[in-house]
């Protein structure tokens, strides 16, 4: 490190608590400080370049230097840098963004409520479901069904929805009223010889039995990511959402689609709901809504729920929910321009075109001796690293194989994410080219070779 980089690294260590970081290890290891971005690449404080294979945190859809979005923010800051939505107030870009979202929604969205993050938006969805059922006099119908390995945020309520152990440990979570059903990961949880359709039917039957056990009059909503993100970039099995939705309709259970990661072209359609045949009652979007240039998220709300909110707020005298920065005009203006750019530059069509190369490269990894599953849709996917391909035997978690692989990928100049279950996720910016896809996987191939050496060395040492 140079003297300057040493200084900035030490400043970080002394000043910050980092999300999803072993802080004791960070004290010794220090940060990688990113200082510049262009296209799908970022550069650190020592001048090294990386292909951002996870679009930052699944979010930098248009890359790291889009001047149109910079200008949209600058223009709005000059005109009206802030105003709120409380007590009948509004601002033009906020209205325009709500109109655009309604127009492109994959279901009959009637109203839009703005938040700042996916966590806040999913937290709001829980409150809307409770408010709705109270308005209808269904005061017991409050439980929210999530799934094992789901990721829906980190507020107290949404971290409870999240079905990952480390989001619960020592936080005294989950809270009451949040329950979890089975994870739809065919590779890991299907029975021997069970087809994807059979697996989906079994999970739907298990959900039916689960709702009956909980009491249908107590179960209010089911929330799901169309593609599970932090749980492993898990693609749903064939027929899964069709089977699940039949169960939800049977028991009058609302469907909340969490499109925080998958919205705005990620799966080859504007919405993953279109890709997988989902018709939700509520939809959450964030991340690519502003191409990650500024924080903003939205709850898209169907008419029955919106009408109940209207009538109940009249009864109470106010809809007592909202954030200082709900519908902030600067992020809203950036989001409006983002949606325009998706349309003008035919981003969805681009994803469909380059995803053929992306999926071919990721699926080719199945031949590697460490890779059990390699699967994707659009421009999102993952590989699962296993100790034995035939039996699907997992590595000892103490080896930290996916974390090692992710670190080696970073050393070779591609940033990916090692997840629980020894899965490594890919989710590059939507603007990535076929040549950049090849470069990303070529760099990852070198990381896999390093990882193979690591696990063989560990096995020899036993």
Q: Are β-strands 178-181 and 143-147 bridged in parallel, bridged antiparallel, or unpaired?
A: parallel
What contacts 26, CB < 8 A, 6 or more positions away?
Answer: 13, 18
168-200 per-position pLDDT tens digit: 999 999 999 999 999 999 999 999 999 999 999
The mean pLDDT value for 318-331 works out to: 97
The mean pLDDT value for 292-301 works out to: 98
Res 350: pLDDT:
98
Res 461: pLDDT:
78
> Beta-carbon neighbour count of residue 79 at 10 Å?
13
**First vs last C-alpha separation in the chain:** 35
C-alpha distances in Å from residue 114, one per residue of 84, 154, 203, 299, 448: 11, 18, 33, 6, 41
* 248 half-sphere exposure, CB direction, 13 A CA radius: 23
| CATH architecture entry for 68-344 | 3-Layer(aba) Sandwich (3.40)
Sign of CA dihedral 431, 433, 434, 436: negative
C-alpha distances in Å from residue 146, one per residue of 62, 203, 382: 30, 13, 22
- CA–CA gap between residue 217 and residue 36 (Å, rounded): 53
Smallest CA-to-CA distance from 301 within 174, 115, 170, 442 is with 115
CATH class of 32-65+346-461: alpha beta
Q: With bands split at pLDDT 50, 70 and 90, how would you rate the model's confidence at 300?
A: very high
Per-residue tokens: 413: 């100049």
Contact present, 5 and 46 (Cβ < 8 Å) = yes
* 301 half-sphere exposure, CB direction, 13 A CA radius: 25
Res 4: pLDDT:
46
Q: With bands split at pLDDT 50, 70 and 90, how would you rate the model's confidence at 5?
A: low
pTM: 0.95
Per-residue tokens: 287: 């991340």
73-120 per-position pLDDT tens digit: 999 999 999 999 999 999 999 999 999 999 999 999 999 999 999 999
12-37 per-position pLDDT tens digit: 999 999 999 999 999 999 999 999 99
For residue 148, give the DSSP letter.
T
- CA–CA gap between residue 91 and residue 167 (Å, rounded): 36
Per-residue tokens: 410: 């970073």
442-461 per-position pLDDT tens digit: 999 999 999 999 999 887 77
Per-residue tokens: 188: 């890991």
Smallest CA-to-CA distance from 447 within 331, 343, 368 is with 368
Res 3: pLDDT:
46
Q: Indicate whether 2 pLDDT > 50.
A: no
Q: What residue segments make up the domains of the chain, in order of their start?
A: 32-65+346-461, 68-344
Cross-sheet strand order for the sheet of 380-385: 371-377, 380-385, 423-426, 417-419
DSSP 54-108: THHHHT-TT-S--HHHHHHHHHHHHH-S----STT---HHHHHHHHHHHHH-SS-
C-alpha distances in Å from residue 160, one per residue of 154, 185, 412, 432: 8, 20, 36, 34
Res 47: pLDDT:
95
Sign of CA dihedral 187, 362, 275, 336: positive
Contact present, 247 and 254 (Cβ < 8 Å) = no
Contact present, 143 and 108 (Cβ < 8 Å) = no
- CA–CA gap between residue 5 and residue 1 (Å, rounded): 6
Contact present, 148 and 225 (Cβ < 8 Å) = no
Using left for φ > 0, alpha for ψ between -120 and 50, and beta otherwise, residue 89 falls in: beta
Average pLDDT value over all residues in the chain: 96
- CA–CA gap between residue 16 and residue 23 (Å, rounded): 9
């Amino acid at each position: 490190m140079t003297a300057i980089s040493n200084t900035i690294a030490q400043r970080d260590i002394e000043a910050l608590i980092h999300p999803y970081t072993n802080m004791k290890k960070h004290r010794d290891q220090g940060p990688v400080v990113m200082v510049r971005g262009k296209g799908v690449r970022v550069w650190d404080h020592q001048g090294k370049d990386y292909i951002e294979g996870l679009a930052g945190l699944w979010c930098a859809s248009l890359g790291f230097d889009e001047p149109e979005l910079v200008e949209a923010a600058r223009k709005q800051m000059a005109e009206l840098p802030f105003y709120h939505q409380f007590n009948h107030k509004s601002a033009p870009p906020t209205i325009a963004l709500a109109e655009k979202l309604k127009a492109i929604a994959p279901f009959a969205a009637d109203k839009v409520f703005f938040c700042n993050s996916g966590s806040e938006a999913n937290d709001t969805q829980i409150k809307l479901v409770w408010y709705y059922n109270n308005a209808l006099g269904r005061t017991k119908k409050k439980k929210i069904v999530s799934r094992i390995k789901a990721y829906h945020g980190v507020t107290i309520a949404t971290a409870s929805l999240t079905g990952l152990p480390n989001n619960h440990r020592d936080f005294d979570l989950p809270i009451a009223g949040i329950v979890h059903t089975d994870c739809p990961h065919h590779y890991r949880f299907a029975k021997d010889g069970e087809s994807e359709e059979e697996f989906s039917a079994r999970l739907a039957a298990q959900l039916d039995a689960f709702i009956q056990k909980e009491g249908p009059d107590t179960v209010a909503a089911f929330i799901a990511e169309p593609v599970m993100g932090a749980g492993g970039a898990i693609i749903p099995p064939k027929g899964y959402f069709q089977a699940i939705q039949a169960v939800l309709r049977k028991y009058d259970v609302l469907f909340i689609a969490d499109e925080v990661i998958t919205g705005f072209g990620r799966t080859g359609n504007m919405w993953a709901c279109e890709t997988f045949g989902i018709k939700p009652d509520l939809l959450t979007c964030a991340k690519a809504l502003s191409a990650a240039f500024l924080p903003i998220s939205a709850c898209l709300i169907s008419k029955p729920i919106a009408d109940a909110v209207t009538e109940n707020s009249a009864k109470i005298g106010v809809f007592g929910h909202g954030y200082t920065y709900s519908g902030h005009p600067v992020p809203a203006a950036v989001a409006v321009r983002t949606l325009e750019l998706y349309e003008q530059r035919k981003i969805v069509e681009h994803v469909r075109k380059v995803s053929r190369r992306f999926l071919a490269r990721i699926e080719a990894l199945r031949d590697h001796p460490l890779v059990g599953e390699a699967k994707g849709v659009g421009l999102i996917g993952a590989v699962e690293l296993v100790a034995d391909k035939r039996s699907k035997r997992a590595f000892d978690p103490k080896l930290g194989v996916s974390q090692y692989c992710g670190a080696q990928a970073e050393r070779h100049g591609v940033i990916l994410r090692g997840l629980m279950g020894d899965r490594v996720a890919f989710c590059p910016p939507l603007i990535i080219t076929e040549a950049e896809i090849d470069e990303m996987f070529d760099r990852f191939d070198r990381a896999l070779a390093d990882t193979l050496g690591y696990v063989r060395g560990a096995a020899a040492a036993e």
